[in-house]
Structure 1
Amino acid sequence: MEIYICTIVLISLFALVELRCKLTNVEYKFMYSILYVLIVLQIGLRWETGTDWMSYYNNFQDTVDIDIVLVNSVIGFEIGYGFFTFLIRSLTNNYTIFLLFHAIIYYYLIFQANKKLSPFPFLSLLLFYVTNIGVLGSNRQLLALAICLYSLKFAIERKAVKFFILVFIAFLFHTTAIIFIVYYFLYRDLKKYQIISVLLLAFIIGKTSLPNVLFSGVGNFLGGASLSKVDVYSEIGTGGDSLTLVGLIRRLLYFILFFVNYDAIVSKFKEYKILFNGFLFGLCFYFLFSSSLTILVNRGSLYFNVMEVFLIASQLLLFTVKADRKYIVLIVFAYSIYLFFQSISVYSDLFLPYKGIFINTEYKRNLY
């Protein structure tokens, strides 16, 4: 527990310095590097901590030749992740080394994307850490998410080839990443009536059978592992993790905040457009599938809900007086503690206490 809290406190202090002081480029890079190394070591040196531990651990130990990679790509482990695992497994059978490589790549992409997508990188990094700690262990989708976020700068710069290549690579790590393609078309201003109309239409369609038909059609088109996953998701339907009323209310409150401040923030931070539209698309995605394919919302919404961290950080552009920003950071710090516990609430026993190769090594965690 102390490991997580100390990390949250440190990032919060850096966020406070960022908002209160004018940092030189060297100072900023030094602080950013400290956090990168700290978080990479924390996540890379964990042991039996996080979701899906045994499935990924066993997959790593079993991936001893290319044939296994090809077989796994049919039954659920995408071929990109399979080759990534095989490459490291060919060098070592030490799972900690694999986790370190995974953390180095994942957080490098996240930290690089964060600098482009946030006017206050330390603040958004704090929010990213606490809101995504609960999916730690979802190795394939985390790498896919990181690649997608990194690709956003090419969508903003209208470099289509680079953007689509990166999304395709992310797709090879987790099938759900294909939905990220929509971001290339979201770097635009939408009229307020268009935004409301799209939300209402998504809500109405979500109450029909059309989302199921559309989802099955996409699976048939992609084939292979994608079709297999579509079948599984369709059978599960709404039998996956429940989507709570609290979650919906939070999304709507966020939407109102981001929507009301849209014009004022876009004038100062152009990237806000694609962030807001991504969040809007995620809300539509929620309305479309929350009544029929709950598990799809849980898996696919990650690529849109993550925009919350950058959008919330962007709100501080409205506070021009540095003294005011200080109090906002204190509020965000308190809120981040709440978000941390909410993030791990479903599987808190897999995160508390933190267990690593040097910390709490004697602790016995039930992984079955």
Structure 2
Amino acid sequence: MEPTFSYIYSIPYIILFLIYFVLFLWENKLRKDGSDIKIVRYLGMLVFFIFFGFRGYLDTDFAVYYPLYESAPTLSDSRGVAQFFSSVNEDYLLKVEPGFKVLLILLKSVTPDYFFLQIISSLIDVLFLNYFFRKYSPQYILGFIMFFIFSGLIIEINLMRNSKAIFLFIYSLKFIKERNAAKYFICNGIGLLFHTSAIFYFPLYFFLHKKFLPAFVWGTFILGNILYLGQIKFITPIVLALGNLFGGFYSIMAEAYSKSSLYSSGYGITIGYIEKFLTFVLFYSAYDKIGNFIKDEKMLNIFFNLLFLFTTTYLFLSEYSVLIDRMTTLFAVSYWILYPYFYATLERLFKTIFTVVLLLFGILKMYKSNNFIIRRYENILWDKPSISRAYFIFNKHMDKILNPKK
């Protein structure tokens, strides 16, 4: 019998991290010698594409997207296309955003093989990341490493629709800087067609480029820590009040979420909390030094304000773990870009210390994040993943994964 938890499941992810760590060292050597890093960049993209694009049935999203892809019509089936988009259809699996449905129909018209969806999805994602890290990051590979360590794995493996909304938002950051509202809202409007979470990006246009007052930043951070460490519940009463106001289904769901230990319990003092606390303090303490590298004041404000949103969201929403997971992921891009800039500000000795800490923390993160059976890695280039076996593992082990203390 296969165990639910084992270090064996983490090994491919640790190897992935180590490959990028070596590429990171190679990139630094090339930069020191004044050489072009194009070979490192291409290798980084290729490894990403092969690892994620050709993966088997990982985690839980296949349970939604496999049947959805199977039910998607082709362009030649006009009646099926109309029915696929019809609001009359009450099948939960078909209640996904229209932009993603269009993508499904286009890909299904090429091949009925579900893995084609994962391949194209990862190709789109790596092209976005390549654009982003080339444009903004002083350390190309370090950007990818931070992506893997901070939310990137779950984005790539388990948030196929969300990822498109997130990457379209990243692309639209330049429109905030340029104060081009039309392009910004069009870009994120397209993201909204892939996942409704993109709605949270819409208000950011109006303030993300502005510098927050230090008193406001640190005051909010301190208050968030008090609420987090004191486990002071202020969201639960709001959720229950809204549920009672709307009544019916909403009241039942509000009650269920509020009482569920799975969804409503805070995280407490964890490695994740310590990491976020230290990152926030380190980055804001190095604000001026990082600003000397970014130089563009609006982009500097954008990335630091995203960090502020990421950290405060984590602290203020601690009583609802499901909200922490969903909301912080929207702003994780701040880590992917600010860590490379923070590294660039360090002197040689501290860069060495940073590199050692990165190696140890990265291995620990890859181990802790992937040591359960639904993350057991398979690749269609050399394995033969079975959908029936994936469903069997999913049904047998999910309860224990979600409730490991039972």
| Structure-1 separation of matches of 2:53 and 2:141 | 21
Question: Structure 2 length as normaliser, TM-score?
Answer: 0.76
Q: Give the SS at the match of 1:342.
A: helix
Give the match for residue 224 of structure 1.
none
Give the match for residue 264 of structure 1.
289
1:263-293 deviations in Å (ceiling 9; x for gaps): 22112224343222112112222344333x4
Give the match for residue 367 of structure 2.
341
State the shift of 1:59 in Å. 0.7
Give the match for residue 92 of structure 1.
111
| Structure-2 separation of matches of 1:264 and 1:55 | 45
- Which of the pair has more CA radius of gyration? 2
Q: Give the total of aligned pairs.
A: 354
Q: Which amino acid aligns with 2:191?
A: A
Distance 1:24 1:86, change over 3 A: farther
Give the match for residue 225 of structure 1.
none
Alignment of 1:240-251 (within 5 A): 240-241=262-263, 242-245=265-268, 246=270, 247-251=272-276
Q: Give the share of equivalent positions with the same residue, in percent.
A: 22
| Structure-2 separation of matches of 1:54 and 1:9 | 30
* 1:179 and 2:200 are equivalent in the alignment: yes
1:116-135 deviations in Å (ceiling 9; x for gaps): 33221211211212332244
Distance 1:229 1:297, change over 3 A: farther
Could you tell me which of 283, 286, 299 is aligned with 2:311? 283
* 1:140 and 2:156 are equivalent in the alignment: no
Could you tell me which of 183, 189, 210 is aligned with 2:211? 189
Give the match for residue 273 of structure 1.
301
Distance 1:17 1:73, change over 3 A: farther
TM-align CA RMSD = 3.3
Distance 1:25 1:159, change over 3 A: farther
| Structure-2 separation of matches of 1:269 and 1:2 | 36
| Structure-1 separation of matches of 2:360 and 2:274 | 20
Q: 4+ runs of 1 displaced by more than 6 Å? A: 23-26, 201-206, 213-217, 228-231
Point out where structure 1 has 5 or more consecutive residues left out of the alignment.
221-227
Could you tell me which of 325, 331, 344 is aligned with 2:357? 331
Mapped contact 1:282–1:301 kept (Cα < 8 A)? yes
State the shift of 1:367 in Å. 2.5
Give the match for residue 184 of structure 2.
163
Mapped contact 1:19–1:326 kept (Cα < 8 A)? no
Q: Which segment drifts farther, 102-111 or 229-238? A: 229-238
Mapped contact 1:130–1:343 kept (Cα < 8 A)? no
Mapped contact 2:161–2:195 kept (Cα < 8 A)? yes
Q: Give the SS at the match of 2:351.
A: helix
Q: Which amino acid aligns with 1:55?
A: V
Give the match for residue 381 of structure 2.
358
Point out where structure 2 has 5 or more consecutive residues left out of the alignment.
1-9, 74-79, 396-406
| Structure-2 separation of matches of 1:73 and 1:36 | 40
* 1:313 and 2:351 are equivalent in the alignment: no
Question: Structure 1 length as normaliser, TM-score?
Answer: 0.83
Give the match for residue 296 of structure 1.
323
Q: Which amino acid aligns with 1:7?
A: L
1:182-220 deviations in Å (ceiling 9; x for gaps): 443222322211212334566779843599469969xx9
Could you tell me which of 74, 77, 83 is aligned with 2:102? 83
Distance 1:160 1:59, change over 3 A: same
Q: Which amino acid aligns with 2:158?
A: G
